[in-house]
């Protein structure tokens, strides 16, 4: 048996990673949010889509997002090694070689874009390709390490999925798709800056210019308030365009007001209390986006199947 | 084959186990791709799939 003759050195020429390690390269937690928002974009788009094509579209968006996660981990292995939050990722912990992650990410990128294009249309595929490029190259390689506005602009990558879902169904991008994009785009800064406020030391150790490290906590707190208020206002966009009615508007108002109150309370706190409240804002922001999109879906469902309640 | 009876080290056994699970995962993905392409073809072409100029 050939493998019995191998010593541990030659074993290293083949991958030593577990299946779970490859799965971890896809950033499954980010992926779950992408799947969810992409799914909502797909379902609220007018016209509808065959369930099989819809499933394939969501799968491609998920794999494409996962691929950009793998490319991100390939490039960021050096700084991931330094931060407590990321030091157990497959590459820094030595379970997967950097080259493997690069090949894995590139392969999945090409396949997800090609299959999405063949199954739906090339506008959706082009948007997916641009999203992967934007996250892996524009955000990871360029902005993340060079500007404190990194996650503001990089947030665009996370905002594309509902637009891709929309484009997969309609073959076009409308104002509604743009509003869904804007909601996630404006949501990203308060979400990540809250994280950066209580993980400040980590980012400092890794030399990443997050806003709290570069501009200070006060500036970050102010910015969180500004973006949260803008987000709350933009949250009403789908009501103004007539995509949804009151069944969405009421939860959107409540969610937005609560988010704004939490952001203002964070603004007027400091020290350990500030870190605690930053953690609350971070956790709440996840529920905010989830519930808002559920409300969007529920309202569109009501309009479509029961003629609406508004 | 004098090495046939060599007892594998724990590390080698672990490596083989991982490789086996990776191979299974790749097989599952390939099978899923076959199903997906088949399903897309049927959905996109529908009954037209039988209409072709020979």
Is pLDDT at A8 greater than 50 in this prediction? no
Answer whether B2 touches A (CB < 8 Å).
no
* Interface contact flag, B3 A14, Cβ < 8 Å: no
pLDDT for res A85: 84
Q: Do B25 and A19 contact (CB within 8 A), yes or no?
A: yes
* Interface contact flag, A1 B39, Cβ < 8 Å: no
Question: Mean pLDDT over residues A175-197, rounded?
Answer: 96
pLDDT for res A7: 45
Q: Tell me what percent of the residues of chain A surpass a pLDDT of 70.
A: 95
Euclidean distance between CA atoms B3 and A164, whole angstroms: 56
Where residue A11 falls among pLDDT bands split at 50, 70, 90? very low
Q: Tens of pLDDT along B15-52?
A: 899 999 999 999 999 999 999 999 999 998 877 767 77
Question: Mean pLDDT over residues A231-240, rounded?
Answer: 96
Q: Do A25 and A90 contact (CB within 8 A), yes or no?
A: yes
Between A22 and A310, residue with greater pLDDT? A22
Q: Where are the alpha helices (DSSP H) in chain A?
A: 2-5, 8-11, 19-25, 28-44, 51-75, 77-80, 98-119, 122-133, 144-146, 150-170, 175-198, 200-206, 211-214, 217-234, 237-240, 246-267, 271-306
Question: Mean pLDDT over residues A170-199, rounded?
Answer: 95
Euclidean distance between CA atoms A48 and A308, whole angstroms: 17
pLDDT for res A16: 82
Is pLDDT at A167 greater than 50 in this prediction? yes
* Interface contact flag, A16 B18, Cβ < 8 Å: yes
Question: Mean pLDDT over residues A110-117, rounded?
Answer: 97
Across the interface, of A4, A18, A56, the residue whose CB is closest to B40 is A56
What would the two tokens of residue A171 be? 């073959």
Which of A7, A10, A11, A100 should be substituted to probe chain B, the one whose Cβ sees the most B Cβ atoms within 10 Å? A11
Q: Residue A253 burial (CB < 10 Å; 0-12/13-18/19+)? A: middle
pLDDT for res A278: 95
CB atoms within 10 A of CB A280: 15
Over chain A, what is the mean pLDDT?
92
Is pLDDT at A309 greater than 60 in this prediction? no
Of residues A80, A67, A74, the one with CA closest to residue A27: A67
Euclidean distance between CA atoms A14 and A196, whole angstroms: 38
Answer whether B1 touches A (CB < 8 Å).
yes
Between A154 and A110, residue with greater pLDDT? A110
Where residue A5 falls among pLDDT bands split at 50, 70, 90? very low
Burial A114-134 (b: 16+ CB within 10 A, else e): ebbbbbbbebbbebbbbbbeb
* Interface contact flag, B40 A18, Cβ < 8 Å: no
Contacts of A5 in chain B (CB under 8 A): 3, 6
**Residue B9 gets which letter from DSSP?**
P
Euclidean distance between CA atoms A68 and A105, whole angstroms: 6
Domains, chain A, in order of start with CATH, read: 16-173 (1.10.357.140), 176-310 (1.20.120)
Interior angle at CA A34, CA A193 and CA A233, nearest 5: 55
Across the interface, of B15, B25, B36, the residue whose CB is closest to A56 is B36
């Amino acid at each position: 048996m050939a493998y019995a003759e191998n010593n541990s050195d030659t074993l290293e020429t083949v991958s030593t990673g577990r299946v779970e390690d490859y799965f971890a390269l896809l950033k499954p937690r980010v992926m779950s949010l992408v799947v969810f928002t992409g799914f909502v974009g797909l379902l609220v788009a007018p016209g509808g889509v065959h369930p099989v094509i819809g499933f394939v579209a969501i799968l491609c968006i998920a794999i494409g997002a996962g691929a950009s996660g793998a490319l991100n981990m390939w490039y960021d292995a050096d700084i991931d090694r330094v931060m407590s939050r990321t030091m157990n990722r497959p590459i820094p912990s030595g379970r997967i070689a950097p080259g493997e992650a690069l090949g894995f990410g590139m392969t999945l990128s090409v396949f997800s874009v090609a299959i999405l294009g063949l199954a739906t249309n090339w506008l959706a595929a082009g948007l997916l390709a641009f999203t992967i490029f934007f996250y892996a190259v524009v955000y990871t390689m360029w902005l993340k390490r060079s500007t404190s506005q990194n996650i503001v602009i990089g947030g665009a990558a996370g905002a594309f999925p509902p637009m891709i879902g929309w484009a997969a169904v309609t073959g076009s991008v409308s104002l509604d798709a743009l509003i869904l994009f804007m909601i996630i785009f404006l949501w990203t800064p308060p979400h990540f800056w809250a994280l950066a406020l209580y993980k400040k030391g980590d980012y400092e150790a890794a030399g990443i210019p997050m806003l709290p490290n570069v501009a200070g906590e006060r500036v970050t707190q102010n910015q969180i308030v500004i973006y949260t208020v803008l987000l709350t206002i933009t949250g009403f966009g789908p009501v103004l365009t007539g995509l949804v009615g009151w069944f969405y508007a009421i939860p959107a108002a409540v969610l937005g007001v609560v988010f704004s109150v939490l952001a203002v309370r964070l603004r007027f706190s400091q020290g350990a209390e500030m870190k605690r409240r930053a953690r609350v804002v971070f956790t709440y922001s996840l529920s905010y986006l989830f519930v808002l999109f559920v409300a969007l879906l529920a309202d569109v469902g009501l309009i479509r199947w029961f003629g609406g309640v508004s | 084959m004098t090495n046939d009876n060599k007892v594998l080290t724990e590390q080698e056994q672990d490596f083989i186990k991982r490789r086996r699970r990776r191979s299974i995962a790749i097989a599952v993905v390939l099978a899923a791709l076959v199903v997906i392409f088949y399903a897309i073809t049927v959905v996109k072409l529908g009954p037209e799939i039988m209409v072709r100029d020979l």
